[in-house]
Amino acid sequence: MQHNTARGPYKGGLRYHPKVDMDEVKALSFWMTMKNAIVDVPFGGGKGGIAVDPKKLSAAELERLTREFARKLAPVIGPEIDVPAPDVNTNGTIMGWIRDEYEKEVGKDSPAVITGKSLKDGGSEGRTEATGQGGRYALDAFMRLRERSPRGMTVAIQGFGNVGSYLARYLQESGFTIVALSDSKGGIYVPNGITDLGAIEQCKEKSGKVAGCYCVGSVCDISNMEQMGGKDISPEDVLTLPVDVVVPAALENAITEKNAGDIKASIVLEMANGPTTREADEILREKDVMVIPDVLANAGGVAVSYFEWYQNMHNEKWTKADVFSKLKEKMDSASEEVDEASKKYKVSLRDAAYIVALERLAKA
């Protein structure tokens, strides 16, 4: 679905999921238009996908499907037309297949046709960590704007995949204390703070779940739970813990009118797409909870996708330090402009983010 090119080529992810349909990609392509405008990168919004369960396909079947998809897309994508990227159940390998097949169709080298590629296929340093790092920069920016220090502030993160795991690590670097983590199978809550995130990642990789990953030294086991003063919790419980910051980084509609009233955090950092329903938004607003909206908070990925496209177009190769420095500039600037619009129009940060985006689209 190609939504808008007022500010540049269409840009958005390709997802492989059994429930992908036109209504979903229409909504997501609109979101991409807004997100790209908010972080001020010269792209419009697009989205696409295939209604398929890739877990039921062999590697060879997945590659054949992807290459056929690329051949069908070839007439309507291109570095200056539509630049797809990975999304749900797609990755750098799949992006590499699409680049390769597109180049066969058009008969020339074209690395900028797609982003989210592996480094060997022309990807950018820092792309894997970009969404989590961008979320950290956004939260850090609002802490500065509110003249608050992260020292001693507690964080609970629902979702410990790529985004949640990197975000946890970076928030810890900023001075926040991570006290709860969960995946779809459950989670852990350690009020005194979770220190060794690397050990938990290894434990999850080994056991297939976060629950039970109480790590003391190099030993991660449920038997350490009592010693650490922790307990296993459900993914839903993570959102209503007595913490300063809660991060929905898993699925959409995680915060609804049913649980919004039970949220005790003063800040919600939306790292998933659409994690808060409209009804829940109103409840949180009445409770004076600061919601840093998804279209800003998780825009680090699209910003670094733009950096990848730029490097490909100009035959440049930036270091990870360069990428993160430029990402911080983008996230700081976007956060400041959204905060300014919120104060100027006396609206929530979410409404302010859309105002910033629409003003930029109107100018374009």
Q: Which residues are catalytic?
A: 47
- Name every residue whose Cβ is closer than 8 Å to that of residue 160 and which is 6 or more positions away in sequence: 168, 181, 182, 183, 187, 200, 204, 210, 249
Task: Using alpha carbons, select from 81, 107, 111 the residue that is nearest to residue 98.
Answer: 111
Whether 267 contacts 243, CB under 8 Å = no
Whether 352 contacts 341, CB under 8 Å = yes
Strand partners, 50: 16
Pairwise CA distance, residues 83 & 71, whole Å: 15
Task: Using alpha carbons, select from 59, 84, 91, 115 the residue that is nearest to residue 312.
Answer: 115
22-38 vs 300-313: helix crossing angle, rounded to 10: 80
Of all helices (H) and strands (E), which one includes residue 64? Answer: helix 59-73
* DSSP assignment of 134-202: HHHHHHHHHHHHTT---TT-EEEEE--SHHHHHHHHHHHHHT-EEEEEEETTEEEE-TT----HHHHHH
CA angle 112, 114, 118 (to 5 degrees): 95
Quote the tokens at residue 352.
Answer: 């302010």
Task: Using alpha carbons, select from 146, 168, 148, 170 the residue that is nearest to residue 156.
Answer: 168
Helices assigned H by DSSP within 233-319: 235-238, 278-286, 294-297, 300-313
Pairwise CA distance, residues 78 & 93, whole Å: 19
Pairwise CA distance, residues 237 & 325, whole Å: 35
